[in-house]
A = this chain, B = another copy of it.
Amino acid sequence: MERSVYHGVMDRHSNPALMDQTKLSARERILRTAHTLFYREGIRSTGVDRIIAEAGVTKVTFYRHYPSKNDLIVAFLDYRHRIWMSWFQDALQRHGNNLLAIAPVLQEWFTDPAFRGCAFINALGEVGPSMPDVVQRVIQHKAKLRNVIEGLLPNDCERETLASAIAMAIDGAVVRAEWGEPTEAIHGFHHLMEGVSCLKPQT
């Protein structure tokens, strides 16, 4: 499974019908359906009834696995973190695994038809204030992202500071792409990266 882009980030089988999930466990079907809908339509906009219907399970099954919608929201973010990070790291590898790989990887992401911004930034804006667990997942996810970026940096610079700045540029590009300007997002990102020290000596 999971060549190039994997299913989760892009969900190439994003047809609302119950996909090819027939052989998956009910728990997994619920989680994947929730992922698709939460990401595409928003968390609060998506009722559990709809998830239940599209996952092809019953209410009892649903509530047996996820006692409340909040549990599912957290599980969704954890799932998203797993699949997105593994896609991201794989994509970096495919593009040379250095600083210059970030832009094409973002490009790949932004131009995917299922792209709807960063699930964590969106979740933060939507349910952040009322759910500390969500905020914590956002912080974790972004810390891990900075961590991965640090791995692309040479040793002879302030890796942490630099990775932090680059991660910020990425987030800026992501929200920009989210409102429908992916090419401008990539251009802006390039521009910001050009200026960041420690880039020239590398490559």
Does A41 interact with chain B (Cβ within 8 Å)?
yes
Does A168 interact with chain B (Cβ within 8 Å)?
yes
With beta carbons under 8 angstroms apart, the residue of B142, B179, B189, B197 that contacts A135 is B179
B192 and A194 contact, CB distance less than 8 A: no
Does A169 interact with chain B (Cβ within 8 Å)?
yes
Does A126 interact with chain B (Cβ within 8 Å)?
yes
User: Which chain A residues have a beta carbon within 8 Å of chain B's beta carbons?
Assistant: 40-42, 44-45, 116-117, 121-130, 135, 138-139, 142, 161-162, 164-165, 167-173, 175-176, 178-180, 184-185, 187-189, 191-192, 194-197
With beta carbons under 8 angstroms apart, the residue of B117, B167, B173, B194 that contacts A168 is B173
Distance to closest chain B CB from A6 (angstroms): 23
For this chain, the copies found in one complex come to 2
Distance to closest chain B CB from A179 (angstroms): 5
Given A44-B126, A195-B195, A176:B171 Cβ within 8 A: yes
Q: Which of A40, A45, A117, A195 has the most CB of B within 10 A?
A: A195
In the complex, A124 Cα to B126 Cα: how many Å? 10
Complex interface: chain B residues within 8 A of A175 (CB): 121, 124, 171-172, 175
Complex interface: chain B residues within 8 A of A180 (CB): 135, 139
